[in-house]
Amino acid sequence: MTLLRLVLTAAIALQAWPQASNSTVRGVVRDITSAVLPGAGVTLTNSNTNDTRRSLTNESGIFVVPGVIPGPYRIVVEAPGMQKYEATLQVQLQQDVNLEPVLSVGQTATEVEVRDVTPLITTDKPSISHVLERQRIQQLPINGRAITSLMYATVPGVETSANAGMRAYGMRMGTMVFVFDGTQHNEAWEGWSQQRPPGLDAVEEFKVEINGASAKYTRPATLVVSSRSGTNQFHGALFETNRNNAIGKARQRQDTYTKAPFLNRNEFGASAGGPVYLPKIYDGRNRTFFFSAWEASRTISPSTLQWRVPTEAMRRGDFRGLVDAQGRQSRIYDPWTTNPVTWERQQVAHNNVPNTVDPSRISPLAKALFAVTPLPTLPEVNPLIDFNWSGPSPNWTNNWTSSTRIDHRFSSNTSFFTRYTQSHAKQLYQYAGQIMTDRLAGATNRTAPNKSLSATLLHTFSPTLFVETMVSVTRDNQLRGNGDGKTDYSSQMGLPNPFKSVTYPQLTGAGIPGYGYYRDNIFDSPSWYTQLQLNGTKVAGKHEFQFGFHYRRDSLNMNNFPPTVDHNWNTQATSLFDTTSAAVNPLAVPFTGNDLANMFFGVMNYASAYGRNYMLMVGKEYSPYLQDNWKVTPRLTLNLGLRYEFRPPVRERTNTFFGFSLKDRAYVVGNELDAMYQSGALLPQVVRQIEAQGGRVITWKDAGIPQALINTNYNNFGPRLGFAYRGGSGVSSFVMRGGYRISTYPIPYRSWGGSQGGAPSRASFSNSLTNTVQSPDGLPAYGLRSRPTIVAGVNSADAININDVRTLPRGFATGSFRGLNQPDGRVQDWNLTIEKEVMPATVARVSYIGNYSGNQEIWVRHNEATPAYIWFATRLEPQPTGEFASVATRAYDQRTYGSINEFTAKGRSRFNGAQFELERRYERGFAYQIFYLLGNTMMNGGQEGNDFVGSLNTYMPGAVPENIDERIRFLQYRRDFEIPKHRVRWNFVADLPFGKGKKYGGKASGIVDKLIGGWQAAGMGNLRSFFFTLPTNIFPNGPNTIERYDYKYPIEDCRSGRCNPGYLWWNGYIPANLINSVDRNGRPNGVMGVPANYKSAAQPLVPAGSTALPANAPAGTVVSQFWDSNTVWIPLRNGTVQRTTFDNGLHPWRNQYLPGPLQWGMDASLFKFVNLTESLVLRFNIDMFNSFNHPNNPNSISGDGILSTRNSGSGARTTQLTLRLQW
């Protein structure tokens, strides 16, 4: 996309974002008797540019100067017969600066004292917001030069999470946006900020509005970033920043090398700004200014990760090491020895050694995959129990960004600025699973080119009427995936790939926890966000009316559902049929077979999915607003506002969205079928198979619903109500302020857009040895009872025939759809704040903060299969077999469909907290901020695909409410453990007392003063609490059995053959025979250091050491084979006994959490300015991230109650050096 096209798009579209970076200076002018002074002249002058703005006070003495660019200013107020008032102030980003100039009677020429009147306390609005100005952006030790990193480190209440990106006070994903001079800098599909945010040298300030904002704001929370502008002086800078493992780099606990892992990070850039001056052509001083900044980063930073991989012996076919923590070996059976009548098999043995296979029998696929799989680095560790590979995982990043801003003043009444930003990021990193040596499986390549353009025009019609017009357009793109996006990797491996997928095949079920060959689906998302905002201000008496209109258009071209290849080795091909199980439901003998052996032999389940082409999604938004800031009395301000937001249903430009109609038992498409076929959104043979199995595909007209497949929502009214009251006077003065607000926001598209990647648009064609429907005899577990006919890499290329109807068995037609009513997300938030200047330049604030979020995303599953335990326990009969086996136990349809899932807006969340803040403005060489936030976030919904409720048949009869809303609360209400209950943040800047005129070395001069003087220190840190989830695979021994030990009992976990340190955090389940145990040679082989009075809070139904025969278990059952399991035996009506695993879906510890360890960290910076000449300054920085090298402990604690300290919970100390030359 060329720059010209970007400019033309913005100019033609005239569309923008409301949160521009301008501020407002307002006030009431009075005399010493507190009488207002109408007609007083107010002059506001920018100290950097000499841009002068003028206003007059109205009949109520009120003046307003809008559209003020952040920076230093001088204000002069004059009235006939009064002394002139003159002061300086610093205007921050999007700040409403409230002044109360008091004029004394006297001659206008009387000399007055000029003083700084920048307000410390907010006196006119209820919102909770935070500003970080240019000085602190330069001074604080920011890790990575990303503005969002600085926000997370300095703004209370803002957190980042795995699913939601930016979140404020526990609100759900999509509630917070990042805007840069009005342009959107986070994408709308998932909500993440752009891969390469604007460079720090391009940023003047940033502000975060997170509670109680005015009607002007379009989202519940907003990060507003302002770009830097030029001044009347030419200024510029060059910088180079480097960190590497040779300079102050420490190691994490898992870095078990002699030196820290390799690190080399270079950040460098240049910036310049000033007046636009062309000799003899144009002199732009006091009128036209420019500022440009460019910076880039090059990083190689592999990190130490731990994985489980096959041992060398296993790769040669020696499976004697397949032994669990209880010493039970998995015996491997040869599938080619299967007796077709009795289903018996022979255990493998090579050279008469049991459990070994002739190495020459390895399948070509296994041989190729083992060749790219790293060998164990901890060969003494059993991979079935613990990690046996530790080493550096590749990670590199190259990126750059540039910004240019032009400011121009047409007249004293009209000003304009425009900014263009472009960035590009490339990255390779670990996504899912271990990165293999060929850097294909597990490795993701990401490319993200982005551009944005914004323009703002401000015109003053009169001293009481101003209008601001903002236009912006953002081009966002992200392309990621494994490999090069061109190669047919499946064909190279000899695997089926009927749809010619160029994604790396996902190969899982390899018998060792976490081991497999994982991919990141190809994801391509070229998107445009174009916006228009009109803002007006009218001052009438004591009222300041703000009004405006916002229009936005999103255009997302999403390619997130390409054809994929997914195969697995979970076939039971090396297991042995248990003759005590029923022939209609055959089971394997415990501890026979292993998927790694299946991989070795090349016996797989195969699946290849057809995926649609790009979805061309379009979303729009229309939003008028009105805000009245009413100065009721000199002490009381009321803030009254209303915003209305109309968002038509998101549409697909070719109308190829689809859904499902429960009443019609049919898929519903948004276009005619021929058009759907032509666009590639549907595959004819998929539709034919759905219809052949008794299903239907109908159009929106047949279903009688809108073509958008959802209803239009007209109910987005957002009132605002707030107040600010100034009480007391002098040293006893304080401000109390608070407010209530309702705001709405669009749920990120991925939350429901992912449903468009399912049937009927997507279908997985399979050839499975474990799918009962595809079994030649209609019985389950065909791989357990048959001889393989396909070997991976030998004759597997044609394992899937898409023209064979058996590759789409009944139940393949799953459905995910949006419910007809889809209201936008809705947040009610409120706060009450008291703030007071407690010392000179120091403010204390205490706030009660809360919010309630409704219309959150949650999936309702209508057609789940009945879980095995519940089927056997309630029906007392075998599970169905034959053609209908995969659908016969479902709740809604027992003929055609698999899972039918409805996307609803029935979720809720709530936050309540108290926030304490102490802030000192920079004065006499010292400034600081410290925040403490105590809060609880509860939720039942809002976590995208993670929140769902099952159909009633997935629980025991009468166990859960039938009403869906009551069921959602019953099953999903829980703590949001991503949001800490306790969070402390702090930052500071201090001049060090060394050098001329200081406490130490006060008489120094010359070179000595240059060396020791002028040093400053800065730092920021945080402390937070964590929760961890209680396990649901063990069952409590009784009520109130949990005991927390925290750091009371240090232990060593030696179960894997290697002893790892940790703490017994709570009394989870440790098998009794592994408590303080040793092997026959006296070496520890259990958990050492467990106290003598230890009693587990819970245990499996068949705990280790059990000897009693479980209820209903057949005579002769070897109980030790079922230790540490929840196996039960259920008598059926036909006289057989069915073995299964107990799971009623309602574990007593579901959604229950315990407090985990606290984590804290501190970053520090030491820097100095050296004046090389009068105008040339050199700055030197030493930044230390995790400066105390505090390792912290991980925040995950397992069901055995152990907090493992083998790994660090935070990054090791890193030292960064910076040289910056500025003039």
pTM: 0.88
Residue 112 included in any domain: yes
- Contact, 573 vs 601, CB < 8 A? yes
Q: Above 60 in pLDDT, residue 255? A: yes
- What's the one-letter identity of residue 297? S
Q: How confident is the model at residue 113 (pLDDT cuts 50, 70, 90)?
A: low
From CA 763, how far away is CA 682, in angstroms rounded? 10
Residue 528 included in any domain: no
DSSP for residue 9:
H
Contacts of 462 (CB under 8 A, 6+ apart): none
- Give the tens place of pLDDT for each residue, 849-876: 999 999 999 999 999 999 999 999 999 9
Q: In terms of Cα–Cα distance, which of 713, 574, 560, 546 is closest to 630?
A: 546
Range of the domain at 19: 14-124
Output the CA torsion sign for 662, 663, 666, 667: negative
- Mean pLDDT value across residues 830-837: 96
Contacts of 739 (CB under 8 A, 6+ apart): 125, 126, 127, 212, 639, 720, 721, 722, 723, 830, 831
Residue 50 included in any domain: yes
- Mean pLDDT value across residues 903-922: 94
- Give the tens place of pLDDT for each residue, 1148-1205: 999 999 999 999 999 999 999 888 888 899 999 999 999 999 999 999 999 999 999 9
Backbone phi, then psi, for 501, in 5-degree steps? -65, 140
Count CA within 13 A, CB hemisphere, residue 541: 5
From CA 595, how far away is CA 575, in angstroms rounded? 9
Burial of 674 (0-12, 13-18, 19+ CB in 10 A): exposed
> Buried (b) or exposed (e) across 98-125, using 16+ Cβ within 10 A?
bbebbbeeeeeeeeeeeeebbbebbbbb
- pLDDT score for 740: 98
Residue 54 included in any domain: yes
**How do strand 176-180 and strand 264-275 relate by DSSP bridges?**
unpaired
From CA 883, how far away is CA 775, in angstroms rounded? 9
Q: Above 90 in pLDDT, residue 749? A: no
- Mean pLDDT value across residues 603-624: 93
What mean pLDDT, rounded, does the chain reach?
91
Task: Specify the range with the lowest mean pLDDT, choosing from 67-71, 1026-1030, 1059-1063.
Answer: 67-71
From CA 800, how far away is CA 821, in angstroms rounded? 40
Which range in 323-327, 412-416, 848-852 is most confidently predicted, on average pLDDT? 848-852
DSSP for residue 650:
P
- pLDDT score for 945: 64
- Tell me the β-bridge partners of 815: 900
Cα dist. 687→654, 766, 774, 901 in Å?
19, 16, 20, 19
How many residues in total does the chain contain? 1223
- pLDDT score for 792: 97
- pLDDT score for 432: 87
Count CA within 13 A, CB hemisphere, residue 50: 9
Task: Specify the range with the lowest mean pLDDT, choosing from 24-33, 936-945, 1075-1084.
Answer: 936-945
- pLDDT score for 613: 79
Indicate the SS3 state at residue 132: strand
- Contact, 679 vs 658, CB < 8 A? no
- What's the one-letter identity of residue 787? R
- pLDDT score for 876: 97
- pLDDT score for 115: 64
From CA 652, how far away is CA 647, in angstroms rounded? 15
Q: Above 80 in pLDDT, residue 18? A: no
Residue 658 included in any domain: no
Burial of 347 (0-12, 13-18, 19+ CB in 10 A): middle
Q: Above 60 in pLDDT, residue 112? A: no
716 alpha-carbon distance from chain centroid: 26
Q: Above 50 in pLDDT, residue 371? A: yes
- Tell me the β-bridge partners of 297: 267, 399
Residue 962 included in any domain: no
Question: How many domains does one find in the chain?
Answer: 1
Burial of 302 (0-12, 13-18, 19+ CB in 10 A): middle
DSSP E strand boundaries for 746-785: 763-767
- What's the one-letter identity of residue 1161? G
1223 alpha-carbon distance from chain centroid: 39
Count CA within 13 A, CB hemisphere, residue 163: 20
- pLDDT score for 111: 47
- Contact, 573 vs 769, CB < 8 A? yes
Helix or strand (DSSP H, E) at 835: strand 825-839
- pLDDT score for 20: 52
- Mean pLDDT value across residues 57-81: 88
Contacts of 744 (CB under 8 A, 6+ apart): 645, 716, 718, 824, 825, 826, 827
- Give the tens place of pLDDT for each residue, 154-184: 899 999 877 657 899 999 988 999 989 888 8
- pLDDT score for 1055: 94
Q: Above 50 in pLDDT, residue 537? A: yes
Indicate the SS3 state at residue 1157: coil
Q: Above 80 in pLDDT, residue 944? A: no
- What's the one-letter identity of residue 580? T
Residue 793 included in any domain: no
- pLDDT score for 10: 38
- Give the tens place of pLDDT for each residue, 550-606: 999 999 998 888 899 999 999 999 999 999 998 888 999 999 999 999 999 999 999
Burial of 1173 (0-12, 13-18, 19+ CB in 10 A): exposed
Residue 70 included in any domain: yes
- pLDDT score for 3: 40
Helix or strand (DSSP H, E) at 652: strand 651-652
3-state secondary structure 1007-1033: HHHHHHCCEEEEEEEEEECCEEECCCC
Residue tagged 């900044």 (tokens): 293
- For the beta sheet containing 1060-1064, the strands, ordered from the edge strand earlier in sequence to the opposite edge, are 1087-1088, 1050-1053, 1060-1064, 1202-1204
- pLDDT score for 110: 45
- pLDDT score for 183: 87
- pLDDT score for 542: 93
Contacts of 60 (CB under 8 A, 6+ apart): 28, 36, 38, 541, 542, 631
Instruction: At 90, list the tokens.
Output: 């610093």
- pLDDT score for 15: 33
Gyration radius of the chain over CA positions: 34
Q: Above 80 in pLDDT, residue 628? A: yes
CATH, residue 47: 2.60.40.10
Contacts of 755 (CB under 8 A, 6+ apart): 659, 816, 817, 818, 901, 903
